[in-house]
Amino acid sequence: MSNLSIPYLIKKYIFNIPTKNTKLKLKSDFLPLEFKKANSVDYAKNYAWENFGIKNFSANKLADLNTINQICTKIFNITEGEVQFPPTVILKKQKNHGRTVGTYSDNSIELIEDNKFISTLIHEIAHYNHELFSKNYIKMGKISEIKEDMLYPDYSIFEKFSKHSDQKLIRSHLGGYATSSPCEFIAEMFMNIVNEKKLPRQLFELYKEFEGPFYEKFLKHYTSNNLFI
């Protein structure tokens, strides 16, 4: 959230120029993508480039490249091809700084190898798409992030979220971190949806209210697979 560059913000919020290429697809266009494990690094990288537009894709192990491609395929299929990926996805051995397990910026997602890097990856993909598809994304961070990112900080959405009557429900199904800001709620919700955790329908209403990406597709997926509590 806080790694956005100023020129990017100027482009997006002041001049309102689209900053990423959104592929427009017709509903009838969509065919589910079939994932097959690659047996070489080149094949795995080619798959990520051709299907997801990921140009810089690296990890130390082929198995990890396959795992990332598999989860990206799953998100691609649930969203019927609407999900967008940043051009750079990197899985590293070492932490870069402090306790950060994943970083997200306009053009890249960087992760560290730990036992939950897949959940972190989905969480960061959620931020990427939330930002891309929600015009109010800049107002959905934590107070400190809004302050940093906006010349005239607008806390109205944050306040609406933090006073929301569903805070308890969020905490009990998604954990405490999801209550820290609207954008963390959206990212944690997206991650749990992709992982097909059983969730109450009420949380989907909240997901829609805070402009979570692919609401309709997720609702359809949960309805057809009977995943509501």
- The residues that touch Zn ion, with contacts defined as CB under 5 A, are 187
Minimum Å gap between C-beta 101 and Zn ion is: 10
Minimum Å gap between C-beta 198 and Zn ion is: 23
Strand 102-104 and strand 56-58: pairing? unpaired
Minimum Å gap between C-beta 193 and Zn ion is: 15
Closest residue to bound Zn ion by CB: 187
Q: How far apart are CA 176 and CA 207, in angstroms?
A: 16
Strand 88-92 and strand 108-112: pairing? parallel
By beta-carbon proximity to Zn ion, the closer residue of 47 and 214 is 214
By beta-carbon proximity to Zn ion, the closer residue of 187 and 193 is 187
Task: Report CA torsion sign: 123, 125, 181, 194.
Answer: negative
By beta-carbon proximity to Zn ion, the closer residue of 48 and 187 is 187
CA angle 10, 4, 23 (to 5 degrees): 80
By beta-carbon proximity to Zn ion, the closer residue of 187 and 203 is 187
Minimum Å gap between C-beta 186 and Zn ion is: 9
What is the side-by-side order of every strand in the sheet holding 56-58? 56-58, 88-92, 108-112, 102-104
Q: How far apart are CA 216 and CA 140, in angstroms?
A: 21
Minimum Å gap between C-beta 190 and Zn ion is: 10
By beta-carbon proximity to Zn ion, the closer residue of 144 and 225 is 144
Closest C-alpha among 2, 11, 22 to residue 129: 22
